[in-house]
């Protein structure tokens, strides 16, 4: 009796029961499993992943089923109720045949008429073995190392060295399509021929040693074209325990799951622990200890001892690496775990490698589970991610002149924005979220900034008196004289700055001459390049009457401030004016080209005597006509 020490492995397997059974292909294209028991034969349909797999000849090697349809050889994995993983063996030129079997090494054999071939699925090259002196009628099968064929005259033993020497082994006059071998005992198999009779098929037991037909074992209610079994290679089935695996059960409650895996997955085995616990799956739940295990088939028993060990989940050494959430920078958590390749980390979102870093974390508490290589939790870790509040960082603070006021200014403050914290700004009793304050009078102010997280910061801002920075504004004007309009020219300068003159809603360049204004008061604004008000001024245009040039006939130069000067009466308009005064002898006493400058009654600094004097004046009047006037004036003191 052999002892097997279990290797703890995480595995999910299933074992299925297939009694003394074989597989057939029916005339209507179905694949069926036929099981023999005390009550006779029962049939079960087997689904296939390729509908074509149910046609033609079939062979079975371990749990791989082969099918030849004259065009190609297909293969698939046989499971309890289906064929899966269907694929084609790389293309080779196949003969049109009606028989297929396999030897103990997995090499396929087939026939076509009187020709015998073989092909290795691992190295698919078709080999012609030769011809036999019989015509194939059905299937092939191995029995004790010899190859047999269902021919049109019975069962033929094929000489594999020289096929021409093949002989008739058991004469049968019926139509034999299928030929199959079934495990009978630990020393030999039984061979059955499937003889078609109308719409049914008789299962004929053959005595291969005595070369006779024993009799009909069962009748199948359909026509069988071909058959296969797990012992058609001629091997005597032996019970081989591949492994006894300890199945992890999480959480662990003192019992261990066992999985007994045998080499032949198509055999019908019973599994017995301590002659008490019996099943056909090989799966048990037992406490740690030593057990006697028996695996039984219909032909033999395999006995061994197994040792079931308790599950031990040791905690690894774990170091936590944590980065807190810092303002807009999310937090992260990682772990350094001893023998990291033996563990995984699990959280609410899934399972990850032990060195996985969990990123994008906000402040809060996070739970993690450390799983060993079996998938069981060996430790639970809770990590708290804290939050570092966003600091206030003033990136810009500018003061500019308020465009609508001479002295006041505007303030714009910019603090770094954050997705997780918003800012509010307070200045001079005003609070907003923009950091923009307008029309603030000159002075020193405290700006208070607060975030939605409760962080605050104060800073001092100064608003200068922007009027002190005004440009130099000058103007010249001419009054409205007679019917000649006046004019105004305004100039504004300050270093290299550019200013404009605003009148009403219109803007003009500095130095612009406003022409033809009527008499009255005019208001102007000086604005900078942004249109901001820098200064104002008011200019008055007087109206001077349009009177003719008239000279008085008397004047009294006695310095009493009344009529002391002889000149034209004021109010007249004249251009290119020339005025001269003579005595009675024609001597020139005074001349002037200024309409507003007259004779004060002196000659060479001395008072002229009383008497009559003569004058002459030339000029252009308001209509630009040349005029000459003359007359006399009496000087009286």
Q: What is the mean pLDDT of residues 420-433?
A: 92
Distance, in Å, from the CA atom of 396 to the CA atom of 401, rounded to the nearest integer, reads: 17
What's the CATH number for 394-463? 2.60.40.1080
Neighbouring residues of 356: CB distance < 8 A, sequence distance ≥ 6: 334, 345
pTM over 0.85? The answer is no
What's the CATH number for 318-388? 2.60.40
Bridge partners of residue 33, in order along the sequence:
23, 44
Tell me the pLDDT band of 7, cut-offs 50, 70 and 90.
very low
The pLDDT tens digits for 595-613 are 889 999 999 999 999 999 9
Residue 400 has pLDDT above 80, yes or no: yes
Q: What is the mean pLDDT of residues 146-170?
A: 96
Tell me the pLDDT band of 406, cut-offs 50, 70 and 90.
confident
Q: For domain 554-635, is the CATH number 1.10.357?
A: no
Tell me the pLDDT band of 242, cut-offs 50, 70 and 90.
confident
Residue 55 has pLDDT above 70, yes or no: no
**Homologous superfamily of 21-228 in CATH?**
TolB, C-terminal domain (2.120.10.30)
Residue 511: φ, ψ to 5°: 90, 5
* Cα first-last separation, the chain: 171
Distance, in Å, from the CA atom of 279 to the CA atom of 272, rounded to the nearest integer, reads: 7
The answer to whether the 21-228 and 394-463 domains have the same CATH topology is no
Q: For domain 2-10+238-308, is the CATH number 2.30.30?
A: no
pLDDT of the residue at 481: 72
Residue 637 has pLDDT above 90, yes or no: no
pLDDT of the residue at 344: 94
Residue 404 has pLDDT above 50, yes or no: yes
3-state helix, strand, coil in the chain (%, to 5): 0, 55, 40
Cβ–Cβ < 8 Å for 307, 5? yes
Q: Which of 51-60, 149-158, 372-381, 458-467 has the highest mean pLDDT?
A: 149-158
pLDDT, the chain, mean: 88
pLDDT of the residue at 98: 67
Cβ–Cβ < 8 Å for 55, 67? yes
pLDDT of the residue at 9: 31
Task: Identify the residue whose tokens are 């074209």.
Answer: 225
Tell me the pLDDT band of 89, cut-offs 50, 70 and 90.
confident
Domain ranges of the chain: 2-10+238-308, 21-228, 318-388, 394-463, 470-544, 554-635
The pLDDT tens digits for 348-366 are 999 999 999 999 999 999 9
Residue 556 has pLDDT above 60, yes or no: yes
Residue 8 has pLDDT above 60, yes or no: no
Distance, in Å, from the CA atom of 504 to the CA atom of 522, rounded to the nearest integer, reads: 10
The tokens of 361 are what? 């974390």
pLDDT of the residue at 571: 67
Neighbouring residues of 296: CB distance < 8 A, sequence distance ≥ 6: 239, 269, 270, 272, 302
Closest CA to 239 of 197, 309, 299, 175: 299
Cβ–Cβ < 8 Å for 263, 269? no
Residue 583 has pLDDT above 60, yes or no: yes
Tell me the pLDDT band of 265, cut-offs 50, 70 and 90.
low
Cβ–Cβ < 8 Å for 245, 259? yes
Distance, in Å, from the CA atom of 634 to the CA atom of 555, rounded to the nearest integer, reads: 7
What is the CB neighbour count within 10 angstroms for residue 178?
Answer: 29
Q: What is the mean pLDDT of residues 386-397?
A: 92
Neighbouring residues of 38: CB distance < 8 A, sequence distance ≥ 6: none
Tell me the pLDDT band of 12, cut-offs 50, 70 and 90.
very low
Strand, coil or helix: what is 468?
helix
pLDDT of the residue at 4: 35
Q: Which percentage of the chain shows pLDDT scores above 70?
A: 94
Q: What is the mean pLDDT of residues 72-93?
A: 85
Distance, in Å, from the CA atom of 200 to the CA atom of 184, rounded to the nearest integer, reads: 25
Neighbouring residues of 312: CB distance < 8 A, sequence distance ≥ 6: none
pLDDT of the residue at 91: 65
Topology (CATH) of 470-544: Immunoglobulin-like (2.60.40)
Q: What is the mean pLDDT of residues 270-288?
A: 90
Closest CA to 103 of 239, 232, 238: 232
């Amino acid at each position: 009796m052999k002892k097997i020490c279990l290797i703890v492995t995480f595995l999910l397997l299933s074992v299925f029961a297939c009694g003394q059974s074989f597989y057939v292909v029916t005339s209507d294209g179905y694949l069926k499993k036929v099981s023999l028991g005390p009550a006779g034969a029962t049939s079960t349909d087997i689904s296939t992943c390729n509908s074509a797999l149910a046609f033609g000849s079939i062979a079975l090697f371990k749990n791989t089923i082969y099918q030849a349809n004259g065009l190609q050889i297909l293969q698939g994995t046989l499971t309890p109720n289906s064929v899966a993983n269907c694929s084609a063996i790389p293309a080779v030129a196949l003969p049109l045949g009606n028989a297929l079997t396999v030897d103990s090494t997995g090499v396929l054999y087939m026939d076509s008429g009187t020709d015998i071939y073989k092909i290795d699925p691992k190295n698919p090259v078709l080999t012609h073995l030769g011809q036999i002196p019989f015509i194939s009628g059905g299937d092939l099968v191995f029995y004790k190392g010899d190859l047999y064929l269902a021919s049109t005259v019975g069962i033929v033993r094929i000489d594999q060295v020289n096929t021409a020497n093949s002989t008739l082994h058991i004469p049968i006059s019926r139509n034999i399509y299928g030929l199959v071998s079934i495990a009978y005992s630990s020393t030999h198999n039984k061979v059955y021929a499937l003889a078609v009779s109308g719409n049914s098929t008789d299962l004929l037991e053959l005595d291969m040693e005595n070369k006779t037909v024993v009799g009909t074992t069962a009748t199948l209610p359909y026509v069988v074209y071909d058959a296969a079994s797990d012992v058609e290679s001629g091997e005597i089935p032996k019970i081989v325990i591949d492994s006894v695996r300890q199945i992890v059960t999480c959480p662990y409650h003192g019992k261990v799951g066992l999985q007994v895996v045998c080499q032949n997955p198509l055999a019908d085995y019973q599994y017995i622990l301590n002659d008490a616990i019996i099943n056909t799956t090989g799966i048990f739940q037992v406490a740690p200890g030593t057990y006697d295990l028996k695996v039984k088939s219909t032909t033999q028993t395999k006995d061994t001892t197994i040792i079931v060990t308790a599950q031990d989940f040791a905690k690894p050494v774990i170091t936590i690496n944590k980065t807190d959430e810092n303002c807009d920078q999310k937090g992260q958590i990682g772990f350094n775990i001893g023998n990291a390749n033996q563990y995984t980390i699990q959280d609410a979102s899934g399972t990850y490698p032990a060195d996985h870093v969990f990123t994008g974390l906000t402040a809060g508490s996070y739970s993690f589970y450390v799983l060993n290589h079996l998938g069981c939790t060996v430790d639970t870790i809770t990590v708290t991610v804290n939050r570092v509040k966003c600091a206030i960082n003033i990136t810009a603070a500018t003061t500019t002149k308020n465009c609508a006021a001479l002295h006041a200014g505007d303030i714009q403050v910019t603090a770094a924005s954050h997705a997780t914290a918003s800012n509010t700004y307070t200045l001079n009793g005003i609070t907003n979220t923009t950091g923009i304050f307008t029309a603030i009078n000159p002075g020193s102010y405290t700006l208070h900034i607060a975030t939605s997280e409760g962080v605050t910061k104060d800073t001092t801002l100064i608003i200068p008196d922007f009027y002190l920075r005004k440009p130099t504004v000058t103007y010249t004007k001419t009054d409205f004289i007679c019917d000649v309009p006046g004019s105004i020219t305004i100039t504004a300068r300050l270093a290299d700055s550019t200013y404009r003159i605003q009148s009403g809603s219109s803007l003009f360049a500095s130095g612009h001459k406003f022409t033809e204004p009527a008499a009255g008061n005019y208001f102007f604004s000086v604005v900078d390049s942004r249109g901001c008000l820098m200064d104002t001024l008011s200019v008055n245009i007087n109206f001077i009457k349009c009177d003719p040039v008239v000279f008085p006939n008397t004047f009294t130069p006695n310095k009493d401030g009344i009529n002391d000067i002889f000149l034209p009466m004021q109010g007249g308009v004249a251009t290119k004016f020339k005025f001269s005064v003579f005595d009675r002898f024609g001597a020139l006493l005074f001349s002037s080209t200024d309409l507003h400058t007259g004779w004060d009654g002196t000659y060479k600094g001395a008072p002229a005597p009383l008497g009559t004097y003569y004058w002459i004046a030339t000029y252009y009047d308001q209509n630009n006509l040349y005029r000459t006037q003359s007359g006399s004036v009496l000087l009286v003191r």
